[in-house]
A = this chain, B = another copy of it.
Amino acid sequence: MRLLEDRIRRDGVIKAGDILKVDSFLNHQIDVAFVSRLGEEFHRLYRGCGVNKILTIEASGIGIACLTAQFFGCPVVFAKKAKTKNISSDVWSAEAVSYTHGGTSTVIVSKEFLSDKDRLLIIDDFLANGAAITALASIAEQAGAAVVGAGIVIEKAYQPGGAMLRARGMRIESLARIKSMDEKDGFTFCD
């Protein structure tokens, strides 16, 4: 999506350690009008797929998911990061390894909000090693819900997550796919 690639080139900041900061418009400050256009694009890609619910993960996914859900006319469910090791039997849970913060976290969704009647679109801001999407897909599977696909704002295509998930048969639509990025030379996007 050209609009997004241009925005990343303009406002994205590359930091040492393969960090891309897009917090001026996506995940700290949110340019709501702009993100709504991303949501419209997710709807164009997934309309007609019977999506009845959007599944995302706190915190960065929530705004994108809500602005996308308006086009589908459906609710959002956001997975929470568990604050304790004691996981209640009322929730579905899965492990996710955070790429940015390191360490493993347990993500949970109350059982009452997902069922085998659901056709889910998974939304997230980044796809790198695929841990968050894998955890959300695991939760969907436990609930018996169908996953129509995932809508990702920015995929680091040089990281293994996208290829791994596609090889498993999951439809992944990433609005910008970064082929490489470098503090000196900037961004190259996949064609």
Contact = CB atoms under 8 A, between A and B. Distances in A.
B77 A59 contact: no
Contact of A32 (B25, B31, B32, B70): B70
A83 B81 CA distance: 13
Nearest to A21: B110
Contacts of A83: 101
Nearest to A74: B32
Contacts of A110: 23, 28-29
A29 B77 contact: yes
Interface residues of A, number: 33
B36 A70 contact: yes
A172 B20 CA distance: 37
A188 interface: no
B76 A24 contact: no
A63 interface: yes
A20 to B, nearest CB: 15
Nearest to A83: B101
Contact of A66 (B63, B78, B112, B113): B63
Given A110-B23, A113-B24, A31 B75 contact: yes
Contact of A75 (B30, B73, B76, B113): B30
A80 interface: yes
A94 interface: no
